[in-house]
Chain A
Amino acid sequence: MIRWLLLILGGALLGGIVHLATVIILPRTATQDAYARLTPIAPVNTVVALPAPTPEKAVMPFMDPAFASAICRYDLSQGPLKLTVPVSPAYTSVSFYTRYDVAYYAINDRAAGRRVIELDLMTSAQHEQVPDDEEVTAADRLIVESPTLTGVIAIRAMAPEPGLMPVAQSAVAAARCATQLPEPPAPPPPRPPERPRVPEPVRPRR
């Protein structure tokens, strides 16, 4: 009797482990996730405008037809990324997703509080390398840490009515994301030009 109970308990335990493991692993093994779908249409570290969703064709399911959207598929292995998004007259938002589509940061035009949303995206290792004084001097510099090396930035601008869609699209199209090349070390201050050596005049011996 106890043996049967143990067997059932063991079976249930094993089943539970398999179930949990499957649920946790499934998102990572999905071959057609958002990142995979965007890969063929979006080069790395470039803003690409997404076509508006239509009944026949949409890049992603459940896209909002009232929004103009663009994405930047990023790869931070070459260095931090600089993102600039001009704010459209209506609601504009920028959201950040990891390689496995986990949203980890988002900002909208109201939170940014200016005409252009400007921020630097880097890994935590790259953030550590930013000199402290630089961060202090640029107090309004917004730094976002990405938990993964690759991922997707979604830029969305709202068109409150269809007539305003071109305005939203142009705002989104003007967004830029580009790798910041590590700044070259400042050249050493120019040394005063050396005086040409004039051979000393031979003095007549006394």
Chain B
Amino acid sequence: MTLYNPDGALVANSTNRYGFTSQEIARHADGSFEIVVAPRANPGNWLPTGGVERYELILRLYDTAVGVSTKAGREVPMPDVMTRRCP
């Protein structure tokens, strides 16, 4: 999962974190995880936005055991996106 500005460039931030790989991420006991995308530091997996207003999140699946193309769209659990609160 990587965060870009709409032009496709990484967004500068104080921690030099531009995304998470599956190995870097902190998970719940059941293997699920949450990423907080926010301009200010948050507990857990914090993906800083660097304060930009518009950004794009790209989730890339490389060589996964579960093929998105091999199953019907409904059967593949896609991540949920929730707006927690506006700053």
Q: Decide whether A and B assemble into one complex.
A: yes
Residues in chain A within 8 A of chain B (CB atoms): 53-56, 58, 60-62, 64-66, 91, 93, 108, 110, 158-161
Name 13 interchain pairs, CB-CB below 8 A, sorted by A: A53-B9, A55-B10, A55-B11, A58-B8, A58-B9, A61-B8, A61-B9, A62-B8, A62-B58, A64-B19, A158-B21, A160-B21, A161-B21
- B71 an interface residue at 8 Å Cβ cutoff? no
- Contacts between the two chains (Cβ within 8 Å), count: 48
Distance in angstroms from B47 CB to nearest chain A CB is 12
CA distance A160 to B21 in the complex (A): 6
Within 8 Å CB of A55, what residues of B? 9-12, 18, 50
**A contact patch SS:** loop
**B contact patch SS:** loop
Within 8 A of A (CB), among B10-26: 10-12, 18-19, 21-24
Within 8 Å CB of A161, what residues of B? 21, 23-24
Q: Mark B36-50, 1 if CB is under 8 A from A, else 0.
A: 000000000000001
Beyond contacts A53-B9, A56-B12: 9 other A-B pairs, Cβ-Cβ < 8 A, are: A54-B10, A55-B12, A55-B18, A55-B50, A58-B10, A159-B21, A160-B23, A161-B21, A161-B23
